[in-house]
Amino acid sequence: MTTKIKINGPLVRGDDKWVYDFFGMEATSATDVLDNLPADNSEVEININSGGGLVDVGAEIYTALRAYAGPVTVNVMGMAASAASIIAMAGDTVKMSPVARIMIHNASAESAGDYRAMDKMSDMLKNANDALSNAYMIKTGMDKDKLLDLMNETTYLTADKAKELGFIDEVMFESSDEPTLVASETSTLLPKSVIDKVRNMQDVKNTTVELSAKDLQPMIKQAIQDLKDTTIIDGKTLTEWDEFNKQKEEPAKENHIFGGFFSKL
């Protein structure tokens, strides 16, 4: 029997996952994968559609899948970007939908402090890039410097290109059709401020959150506004698209990818 495990949404810490569940948002923690690996080492199928997330979470899942004694097949269903692309490299066999993409790029982080802190952060990021590139190198056999160059350029790979370079073994359905690009890849990680606000309202010893509609409404409103201000579609944030559509006297919010969702909240 084959065990199928889905990796969808951002890669998040286990102790943050409940916040995403609270808002009804897809997210994946390392526990979601590790706890579902069969004890009998039977076949595992990993289905990925994720824009990435936290590097350490991606690395933990990658390591667990590589260490798993049974056969592992990875299917890139839509997107395997950033840390999710690292997980994709863990498959004994890696397959990719003809309309899917893989994206590799450099690790990034926020930092503050003087020039010494900035130098230290720069070294830390370079170290992370070097470590992550090992996953690509093991799978593809490519030269590490070439891979680091691809990461520097933030490289998107179609199924055909990924197969040519060795990132995958098969193109699903044996089709060479390439996807029509309609929007840039965006992050769906909840802003840290939202996680902190919800976390502060929860007793650390109690997993039950009790909120009134009055308490919840401004929190959801702020979370939506944060997402609209940081989600970029074709060079504009969703907030800018709203203003653009209002100026054109077209129905606001219905003309972009997430419009229907935001208009209902």
Active-site residues, by number, are: 82, 105
Could you give the CA distance from residue 88 to residue 101 in angstroms, rounded to a whole number?
Answer: 11
Amino acid code (one letter) for 46: I
257 with 242: CB under 8 angstroms? Answer: no
CA–CA distance, 54 with 107 (Å, rounded to integer): 9
- Let me know: does 23 contact 64? Beta carbons within 8 Å: no
Spatial neighbors of 71 by CB under 8 A, at least 6 apart, are 43, 44, 92, 93
3-class SS of residue 76? strand
The span from the CA of 158 to the CA of 75, in Å, is: 14
Are β-strands 72-81 and 44-50 bridged in parallel, bridged antiparallel, or unpaired?
A: parallel
How far apart are the C-alpha atoms of 140 and 156, rounded to whole Å?
16
Q: Tell the residue number behind the tokens 């395997």, with chain if given.
A: 80
N-terminal to C-terminal alpha carbon distance within the chain: 41
| H-assigned helices in the chain | 17-22, 30-34, 55-67, 83-88, 115-140, 144-152, 159-165, 192-200, 213-230, 238-247, 259-263
Locus of tokens 């990034």: 108
